[in-house]
Homo-oligomer: A and B are copies of this chain.
């Protein structure tokens, strides 16, 4: 491969001048610049980013740590991050972090610290305080999606409020027998998303004077098959069947709707279902949902990182920024039929 010195020799200038001509920094005569550019083009010169990073100390590369790639929310966030990084001229190095804690340590110790990332974006992962400190100690900007995390800039929707909002939607329609299908705490290592949505559900129920005991809550995997299997189990018995389900994610909601159809239960006539996410399939399944925009969250996180990376001015404080949501009412929610209640 050709190096800068080759370009310099061909253009009959010094390495210093060649470097200045190519980077655009410092004084270079037009004539010299033209010669350098022509020489570079002639031999197909490309800079070595390794050499560049070595001397400048920055690598124009951001690490993204994410637990899933194949779930809608995470995939969308990743797409948003990717497009924003490319636009900013940065590369994206991807680390998927499974629940396996040994692998987790390895990624953290080995890759993130050792490798050439300028910053880290953690999606849906609850970082320990020791891990946060480690990243801060390295001077690497770090932002999280799905916070809040102490000492870090994080973005996410307000899960408690979101859950309360959709629960209130069901309550205002007249439902009283409402169940929540939520995530299992141990399933993945993300934030307190699950418990917060459960808390919001319970708050809203309590505020309306409704029962939200243990019978009103089932855990499942937050995916379409997860919603399907819990739906099949819970909805099969007409005597205990609720009139409405608040699903912890749209994927669970869709699985529940499919299960209900399978059982011959009409949605929304006999069962209302509401989710959280704004999944691309929500429209197809007429799903009422609290929509968020994961791609936008990803882009926002990138901008926050860039602020701190470029950062002449002091960066914004490292706090949680709630992300807006909007309730999209579709055909999966309706007032409970008298017969359904009686049944």
Contact = CB atoms under 8 A, between A and B. Distances in A.
A82 B53 contact: no
A284 B224 contact: yes
A82 B111 contact: no
Interface string A73-94: 0011011001100100001111
A59 interface: yes
Sorting the interface of chain A by its residue count into under 10, 10 to 19, 20 to 34 or 35 or more gives: 35 or more
Contacts of A280: 70, 223, 225
A46 interface: yes
A19 to B, nearest CB: 16
A108 interface: no
Given A91-B93, A281-B224, A113 B75 contact: no
A258 B261 CA distance: 11
Q: Which of A54, A228, A280 has the most CB of B within 10 A?
A: A54
A50 interface: yes
Nearest to A137: B44
A50 B54 contact: yes
A115 B49 CA distance: 6
Interface string A221-247: 001110010000000000000000000
A86 B91 contact: no
A41 B115 CA distance: 17
A69 interface: yes
A47 B92 contact: no
A53 to B, nearest CB: 4
A53 B50 CA distance: 7
